[in-house]
Chain A
């Protein structure tokens, strides 16, 4: 990507004109002209929402809302960045909330101000159907909000343009947390494994593993049986490995101290 081979195009950053090589992202174009970002730069990979940017190109009325690390420059474009969008955020205790219909509206009553103008969907750089999930939020369907909003990176584009002054990213976040905590089932196999650990089921085997010489450990390592890609019907030939060759079972004399409390 040598500079001299590239054609240069004009861009306007906050109204100031610069010439930059074509084909760059807005973020790199701004760096090319000398910006050393503190704000408006994060993952540089389209998932953190730091580099929310607006632009217009000559001869078109549309105001585009994009991520600077993702969008390519266009000749004559006028660029302005929005590094911070103030959002309304409620304080709540997730444990005390349930998945009952209406809970989103109770915590964020402003959602009923939605006028269904669809601006939120139009400006979302992740192409999330924001207005649709807001409609489900008003109806009280937490699951639909959670699933439809899953790709939200919380950049705030929707909220910055909402005529009803709703903070959609926080409404959606609340819905996802309620869904994950109170609606998705808690997996029994995970609980069983935790009970086993709490009761010391693996204490001895783990302690012996930690005390093994590297050579002995390598030997045990090479005896592992590999679960195949297609493993719906699969079971290991030796389900008790490695306990059966290095010891299993009874709790240790040295009791593992409480390391951190469980939230329950």
Chain B
């Protein structure tokens, strides 16, 4: 049985023919100079015409993807003069906007500090990219590993542009985060002796990724969500925030929400606000498929930008090297980097490797694009998609029979449904939009450049520089979620809310109008992607 059509069989035979000789083949890691050349020639970030400058507001002059720039320069979803800011729907100490891993950990930490805490979320509590994280979470736990090596790897992965204070916080807190999660009952993978099992991700000099099979994010989110319920923290679902509210000192003091069921608009006032709204994948930058959740529409960036928060590295988008390219029903589905960490190889249509699989994601994706677009050595599907093979059966050969079903039960199941047994046949992959490397600029306690406004997780930026390492985002959301939660709760104790207003929105739209950029038909934030009618057939989303 094969899940692949005849037209793809020949290249599978090429791959099988070279498998044994390839398995021992050493491809050296690229030098920093070689990496840079590859990125500049092939990485989508450097593609002509993909990015443009923001033309108004506090981030004027920042280059961001066109799709994001359009939203940042869009009209608000509310009319400020119609909002009654004297009568909010509620008051709290710490308002957490976003119900993924960053929001849940921020809320737990704020509540531990004694703050009255409220979580609001656009979809269900837990709906997020967090639950889709397969590979795991980085922490330097190994005997020959250290936070210093973790620091070096992270900086190198980010092109040495990461903000050092943030990386310091990230690597220092990492082991404590792992302990915190284990105490919440997260079932991390173990060795036979009970020690934590760790695997490689690209750009790491030590194996440092801690997983819970390929359910890592889901397993963590299940436990966190349960703990939030146990602590009695209030949650409002299906009510996305659409604007931030400021006070007369231009500090953040609440947000405006839309109830998606009733379309009612309402305000919640809060002494501090934590944005944990996640990423940008569903904007489909440059028409790429995405691994992201339905709700990943850059809402936090749009709100924060209007409220005056600086952003950083928002031109740097991460394309994960191994998004599924066949079958079409699984298009964009993330095939965990841990496969390469467990010795699966990337192979072109001729059965040859073309890059060391443990290069960083930006470099590996660039090499695949070169292989397919320039060298024309990709593999075509019947509908004209292109990709390269990820030789998954090697994992069974190198690491023992049964390894794939033990470490990757979810992915095994997903492909098996479509007649592909990944223990015996490879997976066709192509780079897929996966992560926003940048975001809202924060300090090491998660505070943005707007007073009393914090950000945590993918919506924030700086810690990953221009390219995040695998396993550093599950870590990031908890390190900065916890830090922001604690700091926001402490700040709330010394905060008196002043006169609330939405002047920043009026001013922003006035500036748009003066610059001739105000369009009636584009509104932001986007909230939900539109896949209706013919768009349902576009080959850019699952």
Residues of A within 8 A of B (CB): 1, 3, 21, 23-25, 28-29, 31-32, 34-39, 41-48, 50, 69-70, 72, 89, 91-94, 126-127, 146, 150-151, 153-154, 173, 176-181, 184-191, 193-194, 197, 202, 205-207, 209-211, 214, 217-218, 220-222, 224-227, 229, 231, 234-236, 239, 241-243, 256, 259-264
Contact = CB atoms under 8 A, between A and B. Distances in A.
Contacts, number: 255
Interface stretch (B9-17, B79-87, B147-155, B508-516): B147-155
B417 A70 contact: yes
Contacts of B109: 260
Contacts of A29: 536
Contacts of A178: 185
A38 B148 CA distance: 44
Contact of A47 (B147, B186, B215, B532): B215
A173 B492 CA distance: 33
A37 B147 contact: no
A151 B542 CA distance: 21
Contact of A180 (B180, B187, B238, B536): B187
A150 B187 contact: yes
Contacts of A209: 148, 151-152, 155, 164, 168
B142 interface: yes
B229 A89 contact: yes
Interface stretch (B68-76, B272-280, B406-414, B518-526): B406-414
Contact of A42 (B29, B124, B190, B205): B124
23 contacts: A31-B531, A31-B533, A32-B532, A32-B537, A38-B260, A48-B126, A48-B218, A50-B123, A94-B185, A180-B182, A180-B187, A184-B190, A185-B190, A185-B194, A190-B182, A202-B146, A209-B168, A217-B155, A217-B160, A221-B152, A224-B152, A242-B149, A263-B180
Contacts of A153: 218
A44 B294 contact: yes
A260 B486 contact: yes
Interface in B335-393: 343, 383
Interface in B147-197: 147-149, 151-153, 155-156, 160, 164-165, 167-169, 171-173, 175-176, 178-180, 182-188, 190, 194-196
Contacts of B139: 190
A127 B101 CA distance: 26
Given A3-B534, A38-B260, A177 B148 contact: no
Nearest to A205: B148
Q: Which 8 A-B pairs have CB atoms at the shortest separation, nearest pair first?
A: A177-B185, A210-B164, A180-B185, A185-B194, A32-B536, A31-B536, A181-B185, A224-B205
Interface stretch (B219-227, B242-250, B456-464): B219-227
Nearest to B112: A261
Given A47-B218, A91-B232, A176-B187, 10 more contacts: A24-B536, A34-B532, A38-B238, A47-B410, A72-B329, A180-B188, A202-B146, A218-B160, A227-B205, A262-B180
Contacts of B295: 42
Contacts of A179: 185, 187
Contacts of A42: 123-124, 127, 293-295
Contacts of A217: 152, 155, 160
A89 B184 CA distance: 17
B230 interface: yes
Could you say which of A3, A28, A260 has the most chain B C-beta atoms within 10 Å of its C-beta?
A: A260
Contact of B132 (A31, A47, A173, A186): A47
B127 A48 contact: yes
Contacts of A261: 112-113, 486
Interface in B381-434: 383, 398, 409-410, 413-414, 417
A70 B329 CA distance: 8
Given A31-B532, A202-B147, A224-B152, A43 B230 contact: no
B230 A91 contact: yes
B60 interface: no
B141 interface: yes
Contact of A94 (B188, B227, B398, B485): B227
B8 interface: no
Interface string B310-354: 000000000000000000110001100000000100000000000
A261 B108 CA distance: 12
B53 interface: no
Contacts of B261: 38
A146 B187 contact: yes
Contacts of B413: 126-127, 151
Given A227-B206, A242-B148, A242-B152, A93 B294 contact: no
A259 B486 contact: yes
A105 B531 CA distance: 45
Given A42-B127, A194-B175, A206 B144 contact: no
A210 B164 CA distance: 5
B493 to A, nearest CB: 15
A202 B539 contact: no
A185 to B, nearest CB: 4
A197 B176 contact: yes
B180 A181 contact: no
A210 B168 contact: yes
A210 B165 contact: yes
Contacts of A263: 112, 180, 183
A229 B343 contact: yes
Contact of A193 (B29, B127, B140): B140
Contacts of B445: 259
B483 A260 contact: yes
Contacts of B334: 45
A189 B196 contact: yes
B541 interface: yes
Contact of A25 (B143, B215, B329, B535): B329
A234 B168 CA distance: 28
Contacts of B485: 260
Given A31-B532, A42-B124, A220-B152, A189 B143 contact: yes
Contacts of B218: 47-48, 153
Nearest to B535: A31
B1 interface: no
B528 interface: yes
